[in-house]
């Protein structure tokens, strides 16, 4: 009975308009599943067994993407409760902790996933180096990968200021003071541009917020698109 | 492939389960249980109490920009039936402010946004304003109430008084306090003996237990250096010098000397010196103890000082007694023979350090003596100690608790610091004031109210501007010379050891005032602080009375007076029978001691005053304990007629 | 390799499409002539990916349920905590700043690291697969000892012992195959490591140690503090 119902569903015009193939039961339909699916089409329909061996890649690239997805999801929800202004930003953290449903869980997820992502992306880079996967023709993809690592650190760093507590304030102050050491007055300029002033304050908060929630993620997504596309074109998964 | 599917199924289910934990945890938050408990508690009570809707509740104090969620669990704050209930449901005691308008944390501190017990009490790592201990609650009053006297907050008021009297602003920046008068040290070398000075510097309280001068814990060496340094200042302010005691008055023979001392003793009593000066702890509190003063100052200084106190010590609130030359010498001789400290031993002679002046000056500066004292026109060091105008905002992480094992809270830190200023670090410079626990707590309370949090100005209560009353002319000169403001208040200026004189001539008859100046007697004999006999000249008294009749008078108190002599007996009956006034007042040498004696009230008070007083005593003196008997006008007039007949 | 090109040949042409690769130089990546086994992306890879993602979310959730993200006092520009620390991934840099002048520790060295990472695939030394000791052994030894001594001297000069010790250890490991010359076992494995491998390993070790020291072993005034004496 139920089976027949499902069969009718899968053959209905509505279903067919969404998924143009039947259940992935034959090699053909399995190939079509990948081929016709927007999310899966970056993958080839067939892959080398060697390159999907877990101990070869450790799944680090995929995990990086996974963490990015988790961060985007939790981050979008956190944006609903967050005001990038002084001192409301801090009180919004308290509200997340005390009154928002699962607010503390969301914040924890976002925080720990962010730390994990910095580590995982770095490990991914090591893996690529030690398996020699940066060699021709994938030289440029390595370069993009390095920039993605920089993006990841930037994302984490810009997000670090947003809770507006002592930890974030002084973490960012220390970081931007390092930038000031750049010679020929460039350090001062970069730091001023970044903070919107000479010290960490409300301007810095709004700048870091925009960088964290829009500019850097968009840049990262674009780089990630190129990164994945090139992996595929160079014969990877 | 089947194993793949199984794993996929297992992990998917596991994921769903794990994702459900956080919403569940959220649902079972502790406040929910308190609300259920409240509802079951109130449903058992005989009174009808509205059950709480389950959910987080909060007070948004709009003016203060605060959100307090304490009311999520403290549900019965307004329910009188719950005044004995257990916490968190107990009703709030009656207070002067509406908590729905101001929230909870503005007074109690703690973490307002929190919704768990631990976090809202605020004794957690990253919250620096945990809930105030009960003893310190009045600190919060001080945040808005900036006037010196807050009647509803006695501890706060006491603390502010101590801060003012201890002259804390000599070293600390504080708002709303006036600099206290402190003796100038100019001429100290001609005034005191070095032996006494060293002891005084080592521990001022050993000489005079109630002195305002704190203990700086100077070492022997430091005390000697500082004493040597101070002894070099021999000329008084405005370059005044001591006059010699007139030789012809100096007593030579023993009998003459005894006579002199006897005269001095009489004048000393008549002048009622002990109204202000205690003798070995007994007596007034306004001025310094005279019990051992002969071991401190020279007779020559005493003679000069009594002759004209303000010449040697400008600004001092000591009246210039109208004593004759020989009387001055006599009083000085009496003090010199009577008030000797026989236990004071001579210090062993020492050769002074050759660099004593520089070293002494360095010490004088190190301990910021010029914060209080004047010396040689030296500039007052501006705020040596920490700025205390926002000390109530001090963060816990800014405080070094040293090795002191107390709970790390700001109230306890301040309390401990005031009890023992060098407890946290021995090298601190703050001297010790020997505050009692109660005093230390009061000062801590007053300090804790110094915050800069965003309280709108319109919610704050500021002190009234100081009185600008300053009498001129002959009367003005007398007021200054006799230091009247030292004991009396006139138009909001001056101390209140004696009476407020602002309406004195509406109350007292001029003739009575005149005799009072000649033989000041007390209406309430149990008081220590009595009006001294200033030995004023007839003409001076006339100047004073004339001025009082013109200025210290309220016209409305003299209007609409009808005294009918025939009513005297009716008044007597009312006085003794209906109202039983003799329970507190003496008449015909009989009666109570609570109120002033009324034996000769008819020649003391003005009838208008009596009438208005009987109508409503508290209207004339809000602190009077005389009951308001709501007498009829006729009764008031009859009693007044009776009282005016007592001459 | 003598051939100019090589073709990938599979026994079953239906399973594996034919590919042709042209090889222009000897240094380029080798193309193995192999018959590689293939798998359907769906479900072999896709299911694995989904399960990996699920496990990751589960782990994150469990961590998030038990460990709260830190939230200290509200920011206070007037009070600098002691020590003031950057986020952990910058603590290696902060540790460098402790030893070197700001321009060197905060600008030149990190810039060098990023540039070095970017240019990795473009340098012959990185593309070479031969072991370090394959070519001219004497020459390699002289260069290695010279560079190693110079580096150690600089580190000693600035008293950077946390970098000096791992540097010496790694140089020691590099020298083991020169001394022992065994071709098998772990020594043989060490001997087969290329120069780029050694450089990267050195870089990663230093980065990890500096970050760990900065995170766990630094207390007030950036003084050495054991983790059990308190984490700052």
Asked if residue C43 has a cis previous peptide bond (ω within 30° of 0), the answer is yes
Beta carbons of A169 and C67 less than 8 Å apart: no
B590 and chain C in contact, CB less than 8 A: no
pLDDT tops 60 at residue B445: yes
pLDDT at B20: 94
First-to-last alpha carbon distance for chain A, in angstroms, is 39
Taking residues C130-136, report their average pLDDT.
76
Residue B643 tokens read as 């009282």
Least CB–CB distance from B26: residue in A94, A95, A102: A102
Q: Which domain holds residue C47?
A: 41-70
- Chosen for mutation from B2, B7, B10, B15 (greatest number of chain C CBs closer than 10 Å) is B15
Residue B559 gets which letter from DSSP?
S
Q: What is the pLDDT of residues B67-90, one digit of tens each?
A: 999 999 999 898 888 888 888 999
- The segment with the largest mean pLDDT, out of A220-234, B372-386, B597-611, is A220-234
> If you measure CA to CA, which chain C residue comes closest to A150?
C114
Of chain A residues 116-145, which have a CB less than 8 A from chain C? 116, 118, 125-126, 129-130, 132, 134-136, 138-140, 142-143
C116 and C99 co-located in one domain: yes
Q: Tell me: pLDDT of B233 over 50.
A: yes
Give the pLDDT mean for B607-634: 87
Q: How many CB pairs under 8 A join A and B?
A: 25
Contact residues, chain A, for C53 at CB < 8 Å: 62, 66, 69
Q: Give the C-alpha separation, B328 to B335, whole Å.
A: 11
Which chain B residue is nearest to residue C70, measuring alpha carbons?
B126
Average confidence score pLDDT of chain B: 88
Q: In this predicted model, what pLDDT tens digit does every residue of B262-285 receive, in sequence order?
A: 999 999 988 888 888 998 888 888
A190 touches chain C (CB under 8 A): no
The answer to the question of residue C78 being in a domain is: no
Whether B126 and A94 lie within 8 Å, measured CB to CB:
no
Closest residue on chain B to C65 (Cα)? B22
Q: Kindly list the residues from chain A whose CB atom is less than 8 angstroms away from the CB atom of residue C79.
A: 166
By C-alpha distance, the chain B residue nearest A165 is: B126
pLDDT range class, residue A107, cuts 50, 70, 90: very high
- The per-residue pLDDT for B619 is 86
Asked if C8 and C46 sit in the same domain, the reply is no
Residues on chain C touching A199 (C-beta within 8 angstroms): 77
SS3 B540: helix
Q: Which residue has the tokens 């074109």?
A: A233
> Residue B295: how many CB atoms within 10 A of its CB?
19
Residue C5 has what pLDDT?
46
- For residue A70, list chain B residues with Cβ-Cβ distance below 8 A: none
What's residue C4's pLDDT?
43
List the single residue in B with minimal CA-CA distance to A90.
B113
Tell me if chain C has a CB within 8 Å of the CB of A93.
yes
Please give the pLDDT value at position C18: 58
Mean of pLDDT over chain C: 83
Nearest to B22 among A98, A99, A102 (CB): A102
Query: Do C211 and C167 sit in the same domain of this protein?
Result: yes
Interface with C, mutate which of A178, A184, A203, A205 (most C CBs under 10 A):
A178
Superfamily of the domain at A55-233: Cytochrome Bc1 Complex; Chain C (1.20.810.10)
pLDDT in tens, B343-397: 777 777 777 788 889 999 999 988 989 889 988 888 776 668 889 999 998 888 8
CB-based contact (8 Å) between B116 and chain A?
yes
Interval C196-220 mean pLDDT? 92
pLDDT for the residue numbered B525: 61
Query: Shortest CB distance from C76 goes to which of B21, B25, B395?
Result: B395
Which superfamily, per CATH, for B473-553?
Answer: Cytochrome c-like domain (1.10.760.10)
Q: What is the pLDDT of residues C38-59, one digit of tens each?
A: 888 888 888 889 999 999 999 9
Are C124 and C159 found together in one domain?
A: yes
In chain B, positions 393-422, which contact chain C (CB-CB < 8 Å)? Answer: 395, 397-398
Q: What is the fold, at CATH topology level, of the domain defined by B154-173+385-459? A: Cytochrome Bc1 Complex; Chain D, domain 2 (1.10.760)
C20 strand-pairing partners: C7
Label residue B379 exposed, middle or buried (CB < 10 Å: 0-12, 13-18, 19+): exposed
Q: How many CB pairs under 8 A join B and C?
A: 45
Of A165, A171, A181, nearest to C87 by CB-CB distance is A171
Name the residue in chain B with its Cα closest to that of A106: B22
C182 lies in the same domain as C194: yes
Show which residues on chain C lie within 8 Å of chain B, measured between beta carbons.
43-44, 47-48, 50-51, 54-55, 57-58, 61-62, 64-65, 71-73, 76, 79, 81
Residue C35's pLDDT is: 66
Token pair 């998917």: residue: B12
From chain A, the residues in CB contact with C81 under 8 A are: 166, 170
Long-range CB contacts (< 8 A, 24+ apart) of C7-10?
C7/C33, C8/C33, C8/C34, C9/C33, C9/C35, C10/C35, C10/C36
B454 CB neighbours in chain C (<8 A) are none
For the domain covering B558-644, report its CATH number.
1.10.760.10
Whether C148 shows a pLDDT value over 60: the answer reads yes
Alpha-carbon torsion, ordered B453, B454, B459, B463, to 10 deg = 50
Compute the nearest-CA separation of B21 from chain C (Å): 8
Q: Which of C43, C53, C74, C88 to mutate to test the interface with A (most CBs of A within 10 A)?
A: C74
* Interval B211-237 mean pLDDT: 91
Above pLDDT 90, what percent of chain A?
59
pLDDT-based confidence at residue C209 (cuts at 50, 70, 90): very high
Structure tokens at B502: 């602002």
CA-closest candidate to residue B416, choices B381, B450, B447: B447
Q: How far apart are CA A146 and CA A129, in angstroms?
A: 11
The span from the CA of A207 to the CA of B218, in Å, is 56
In b/e form, how buried is each residue of B357-367, taking b as 16+ CB within 10 angstroms? eebbbebbeeb
Is residue B610 within 8 Å of residue B635, measured between CB atoms?
no
**H or E element: which one contains B61?**
strand B59-61
Q: At what angle do helices B510-518 and B538-551 cross, to 10 degrees?
A: 140
Q: How far apart are CA B614 and CA B68, in angstroms?
A: 50
Do C12 and C49 lie in one domain? The reply is: no
* Yes or no, beta carbons of C56 and A104 under 8 Å apart: no
User: Do C56 and C33 reside in the same domain of the chain?
Assistant: no
Q: Nearest CA of chain B to the CA of A122: how many Å?
A: 26
Mean pLDDT, to the nearest integer, of B586-593?
Answer: 81
Judge whether residue C21 has pLDDT over 70: no
* Cα–Cα distance measured from residue A23 to residue B482, given in angstroms and rounded to the nearest whole number: 112
**3-state SS, residue A170:** helix
Q: Comparing C-alpha atoms, which of A205, A215, A195 is closest to residue A84?
A: A205
Best of C69, C95, C102 to substitute, by most chain A Cβ atoms within 10 angstroms, is C69
Q: Which residues in chain B are closer than 8 Å to A105, comparing Cβ atoms? A: 22, 25-26
Burial of C6 (0-12, 13-18, 19+ CB in 10 A): middle
- Residues from chain B that touch C42, judged by Cβ atoms under 8 A, are none
Dihedral sign computed on CA atoms, order B576, B577, B580, B581 = negative
Question: For chain C, what is the domain count?
Answer: 3
**What pLDDT score does A218 carry?**
97
Does residue A213 register a pLDDT over 90?
yes
CA distance C13 to C24: 26
Confidence class for position B548, pLDDT limits 50, 70, 90: very high
Q: Which residues of A touch B (CB under 8 A)?
A: 91, 94-95, 98-99, 101-102, 105, 165
Dist. CA A63–CA A41, nearest whole Å = 18
| Chain B residues with beta carbon closer than 8 angstroms to that of C72 | 126
Neighbours, chain A (3 or more CB pairs < 8 A): B, C
C165 in the same domain as C96: yes
Q: Does C119 have pLDDT greater than 70?
A: yes
B22 touches chain A (CB under 8 A): yes
* Distance of alpha carbon B62 from alpha carbon B455, whole angstroms: 11
Residue from the list C51, C73, C79 with its beta carbon closest to the beta carbon of B11: C51
Chain C, nearest residue to B25 by Cα: C65
Q: Residues B324, B328, B329, B331: is their CA dihedral positive or negative?
A: positive
Per-residue pLDDT at C33: 53
pLDDT at B473 over 70: yes
- Res. C183: pLDDT tops 70: yes
- Name the least confident of A162-166, A222-226, B524-528: B524-528
Contact C75 A168 (CB under 8 A): yes
Q: Per residue, what are the HEC states of chain C?
A: CCCCEEEECCCCCCCCCCEEEECCCCCCCCCCCCCCCEEEHHHHHHHHHHHHHHHHHHHHHHHHHHCCCCCCCECCCCCCCCCCCCCHHHHHHHHHHHHCCHHHHHHHHHHHHHHHHHHHHHCHHHHCCCCCCCCCHHHHHHHHHHHHHHHHHHHHHCCCHHHHHHHHHHHHHHHHHHHHCCCCHHHHHHHCCCHHHHHHHHHHHHHHHHHHHHHHCECHHHCECCHHHCCC
Q: pLDDT digit string (tens) for A160-209?
A: 999 999 999 999 998 888 888 888 888 889 999 999 988 899 999 999 99
Same domain? C30 vs C99: no
Least trusted range by pLDDT, from A39-48, B174-183, C132-141: C132-141
Tell me what pLDDT residue B346 has: 77
User: CA of B544: how far to CAs of B319, B537, C77, in Å?
Assistant: 15, 11, 61
pLDDT for the residue numbered C3: 41
SS3 B236: strand
Q: Is the peptide bond before C97 cis (omega within 30 degrees of 0)?
A: no
Portion of chain A with pLDDT greater than 70, in percent = 100
Region B188-338: CATH code = 1.10.760.10
Residue of higher predicted confidence among B330 and B250: B330
Reply yes or no on whether the pLDDT at B637 is more than 70.
yes
Burial of B418 (0-12, 13-18, 19+ CB in 10 A): buried
* Interchain pair A34, C42: CB under 8 A: yes
**What is the rounded distance in angstroms from the CA atom of residue C85 to the CA atom of residue B323?**
75
Query: Which chain B residues contact residue A95 at CB under 8 A?
Result: 113
Give the pLDDT score at B383: 64
Choose among B132, B209, B217, B279: nearest CA to B436: B209
Quick one: average pLDDT of C163-190? 87
CA distance B510 to B606: 9
C77 within some domain: no
* pLDDT of C17 strictly over 80: no
Question: Which helix (DSSP H) or strand (DSSP E) does residue A84 occupy?
Answer: none
pLDDT of residue B250: 63
Is residue B79 within a helix (H) or strand (E), and if so which, with residue range?
none
Rounded CA separation B414/B441 (Å): 8
């Amino acid at each position: 009975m139920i089976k027949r119902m499902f069969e009718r569903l899968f053959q209905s015009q509505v279903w067919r308009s969404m998924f143009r193939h039947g259940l992935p039961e034959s090699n053909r339909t399995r190939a079509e599943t990948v081929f016709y699916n927007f999310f899966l089409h970056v993958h080839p329909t067939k892959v080398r067994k060697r390159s999907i061996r877990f101990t070869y890649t450790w799944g680090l690239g995929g995990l990086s993407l996974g963490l990015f997805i988790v961060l985007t999801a939790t981050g979008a929800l956190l944006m609903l409760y967050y005001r990038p202004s002084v001192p409301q930003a801090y009180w919004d953290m308290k509200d997340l902790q005390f009154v928002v449903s699962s607010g503390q869980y969301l914040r924890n997820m976002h925080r720990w996933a962010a730390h994990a992502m910095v580590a995982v992306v770095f490990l991914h880079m090591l893996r690529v180096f030690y398996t020699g996967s940066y060699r021709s023709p994938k030289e440029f993809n390595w370069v993009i990968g390095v920039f993605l690592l920089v993006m990841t650190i930037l994302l984490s760093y810009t997000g670090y200021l947003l809770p507006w507590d002592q930890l974030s304030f002084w973490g960012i102050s220390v970081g931007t003071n390092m930038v000031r050491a750049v010679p020929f007055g460039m350090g001062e300029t970069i730091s001023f541009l970044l903070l919107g002033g000479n010290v960490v304050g409300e301007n810095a908060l709004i700048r870091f917020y925009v960088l964290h929630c829009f500019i850097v993620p968009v840049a990262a997504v674009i780089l990630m698109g190129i990164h994945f596309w090139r992996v595929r074109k160079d014969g990877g998964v | 492939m089947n194993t793949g599917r199984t794993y996929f199924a297992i992990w998917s289910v596991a994921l769903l389960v794990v994702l459900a934990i956080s919403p569940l945890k959220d649902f079972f938050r502790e406040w929910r249980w308190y609300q259920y408990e409240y509802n079951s508690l109130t449903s058992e009570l005989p009174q009808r109490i509205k059950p709480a809707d389950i959910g987080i509740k909060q007070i948004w104090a709009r003016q203060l920009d605060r959100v307090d969620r304490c009311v999520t669990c403290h549900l019965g704050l307004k329910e009188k039936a719950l005044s004995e209930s257990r916490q968190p449901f107990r009703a709030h005691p009656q207070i002067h402010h509406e908590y729905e308008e101001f929230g909870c944390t503005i007074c109690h501190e703690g973490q307002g946004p929190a919704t768990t017990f631990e976090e809202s009490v605020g004794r957690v790592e990253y919250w620096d304003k945990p809930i105030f201990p009960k003893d310190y609650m009045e600190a919060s009053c001080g945040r808005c109430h900036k006037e010196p006297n807050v009647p509803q907050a006695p501890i706060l008021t006491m603390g502010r008084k101590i801060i003012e009297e201890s002259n804390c602003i000599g070293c600390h920046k504080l708002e709303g306090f006036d600099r206290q008068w402190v003796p100038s040290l100019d001429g100290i070398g001609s005034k005191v003996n070095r032996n006494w000075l060293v002891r005084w510097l080592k521990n001022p309280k050993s000489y005079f237990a109630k002195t305002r001068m704190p203990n700086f814990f100077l070492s022997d060496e430091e005390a000697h250096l500082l004493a040597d340094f101070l002894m070099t200042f021999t000329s008084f302010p405005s370059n005044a010098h001591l006059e010699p005691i007139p030789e012809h008055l100096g007593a030579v023979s023993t009998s003459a000397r005894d006579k002199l001392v006897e005269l001095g003793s009489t004048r000393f009593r008549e002048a009622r010196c002990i109204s202000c000066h205690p003798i070995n702890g007994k007596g007034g509190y306004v001025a310094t103890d005279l019990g051992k003063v002969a071991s401190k100052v020279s007779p020559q200084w005493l003679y000069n000082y009594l002759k004209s106190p303000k010449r040697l010590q400008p600004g001092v609130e000591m009246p210039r007694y109208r004593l004759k030359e020989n009387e001055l010498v006599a009083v000085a001789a009496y003090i010199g023979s009577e008030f000797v400290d026989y236990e004071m031993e001579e210090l062993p002679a020492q050769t002074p350090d050759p660099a004593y002046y520089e070293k002494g000056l360095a010490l004088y500066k190190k301990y910021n003596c010029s914060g209080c004292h004047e010396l040689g026109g030296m500039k007052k060091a501006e705020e040596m100690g920490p700025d205390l105008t926002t000390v109530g905002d001090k963060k816990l992480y800014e405080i070094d608790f040293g090795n002191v094992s107390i709970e790390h809270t700001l109230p306890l830190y301040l309390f401990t610091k005031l009890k023992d200023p060098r407890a946290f670090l021995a090298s601190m410079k703050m001297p010790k004031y020997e505050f009692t626990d109660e005093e230390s707590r009061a000062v801590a309370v007053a300090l804790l109210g110094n915050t800069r949090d965003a309280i709108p100005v319109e919610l704050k209560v500021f002190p009234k501007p100081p009185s600008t009353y300053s009498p001129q002319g002959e009367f003005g000169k007398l007021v200054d010379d006799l230091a009247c403001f030292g004991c009396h208040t006139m138009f909001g200026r001056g101390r209140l050891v004696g009476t407020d004189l602002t309406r004195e001539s509406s109350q007292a008859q001029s003739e009575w005032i005149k005799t009072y100046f000649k033989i000041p007697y007390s209406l309430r004999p149990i008081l220590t602080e009595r009006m001294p006999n200033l030995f004023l000249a007839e003409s001076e008294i006339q100047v004073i009375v004339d001025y009082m009749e013109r200025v210290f008078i309220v016209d409305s108190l003299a209007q609409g007076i009808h005294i009918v002599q025939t009513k005297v007996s009716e008044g007597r009956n009312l006085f003794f029978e209906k109202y039983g006034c003799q329970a507190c007042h003496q008449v015909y040498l009989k009666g109570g001691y609570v109120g002033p004696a009324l034996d000769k009230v008819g020649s003391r008070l003005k009838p208008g005053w009596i009438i208005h007083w009987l109508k409503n005593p508290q209207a004339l003196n809000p602190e009077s304990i005389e009951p308001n008997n709501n007498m009829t006008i006729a009764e008031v007039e009859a009693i007044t007629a009776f009282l005016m007949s007592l001459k | 390799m003598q051939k100019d090109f090589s073709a990938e040949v599979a026994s079953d042409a239906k399973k594996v499409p034919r590919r042709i690769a042209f090889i222009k130089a000897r240094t380029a990546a080798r193309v193995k002539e192999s018959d590689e086994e293939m798998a359907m992306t769906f479900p072999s890879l896709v299911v694995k990916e989904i399960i990996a993602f699920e496990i990751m979310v589960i782990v994150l959730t469990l961590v998030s349920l038990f460990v709260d993200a830190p939230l200290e006092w509200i920011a206070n520009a007037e009070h600098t905590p002691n020590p003031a620390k950057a986020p952990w991934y910058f603590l290696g840099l902060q540790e460098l700043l402790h030893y070197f002048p700001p321009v060197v520790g905060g600008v030149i060295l990190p810039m060098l690291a990023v540039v070095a990472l970017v240019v990795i695939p473009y340098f012959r030394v990185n593309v070479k697969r031969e072991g370090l000791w394959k070519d001219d052994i004497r020459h390699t030894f002289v260069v290695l000892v010279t560079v190693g001594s110079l580096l150690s001297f600089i580190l000693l000069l600035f008293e950077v012992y946390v970098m000096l010790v791992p540097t010496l250890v790694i140089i020691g490991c590099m020298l083991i195959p020169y001394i022992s010359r065994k071709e098998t076992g772990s020594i043989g494995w060490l001997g087969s490591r290329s120069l780029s491998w050694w450089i990267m390993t050195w870089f990663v070790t230093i980065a990890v140690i500096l970050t760990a020291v900065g995170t766990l072993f630094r207390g007030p005034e950036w003084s050495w503090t054991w983790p059990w004496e308190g984490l700052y």
